[in-house]
Amino acid sequence: MSPSILLVIRIAIGVLAGYLAMATLVLLTLVPATMLIDLDRLRDPATGVMTSWFVFMVEWPVSLFSAVIGGVIAALVGGRAGRETTLRALVIFVLVVGGVAAVMEIAGRLSGDRALVVEGELSGTDVEEVEAEAFAAREGVTATDDAARLPIQPIWDVISLPLLGALGVMLGGRVVQRAAVGLAAPNGDDAHA
């Protein structure tokens, strides 16, 4: 095989590995966090909307951490020759998947079609489904009862999560780039790092 084909394969594997790492880390951290947090901190009892406290203190830090790790993995798999391309591709992938999920969720809310909202929330992973089952088990109700309903994400959160994920991927790639060239440039000039 030619070196360019191997590089493309390496880039594709890097993007997939980075995204799978992100999804897995979110699943392994956000579901237990949801189970451990008091319901009043998780969602507003009257509206069912996810609280800002949960978004800023749990969801965003977990999402950012997961995206940074995904960026590190993608950059390492991409290697020196494909690192920048791998990271750009993963950022685009995160923005596209998150954007499609956001559009589906918003369209579902506007049309009242719960199936579109669920499709938008799942967007390629079963995190929401696992959260719903765990949440229902915690409350001692079936997953179809209103009491087991997951908190509703605010629209601003739905829109901003893909941007946060892209930022995390870039930060993770930057960590690998800095480690690859050393913590300081040889001549003290940081412009080439």
At residue 78, does pLDDT exceed 50?
yes
78 and 11 Cβ atoms separated by less than 8 Å: yes
Provide the token pair at 153: 């994400």
98, burial (CB in 10 Å: exposed 0-12, middle 13-18, buried 19+): buried
CA angle 156, 69, 87 (to 5 degrees): 80
Q: Which residues pair with 7 in a beta bridge?
A: none
d(CA 146, CA 91): 36
69 and 22 Cβ atoms separated by less than 8 Å: yes
**Range 131-134, long-range pairs (CB < 8 A, 24+ positions):** 131/30, 131/31, 131/34, 134/31, 134/34, 134/35
DSSP state of 55: I
Share of the chain above pLDDT 90, in %: 51
Q: What is the pTM of this model?
A: 0.79
Q: What is the pLDDT of residue 1?
A: 76
Q: What is the pLDDT of residue 21?
A: 97
Q: Tens digits of per-residue pLDDT, 127-149?
A: 555 566 665 666 665 555 555 56
Q: Taking the CB of residue 146, how many other CB atoms lie within 10 A of it?
A: 7
Q: H-helix or E-strand containing 156?
A: helix 155-181
At residue 14, does pLDDT exceed 60?
yes
d(CA 46, CA 107): 23
Q: Tens digits of per-residue pLDDT, 83-125?
A: 999 999 999 999 999 999 999 888 888 887 765 555 555 554 5
At residue 177, does pLDDT exceed 70?
yes
Strands, E assignment, 85-182: none
Encoded amino acid at 117, one letter:
V
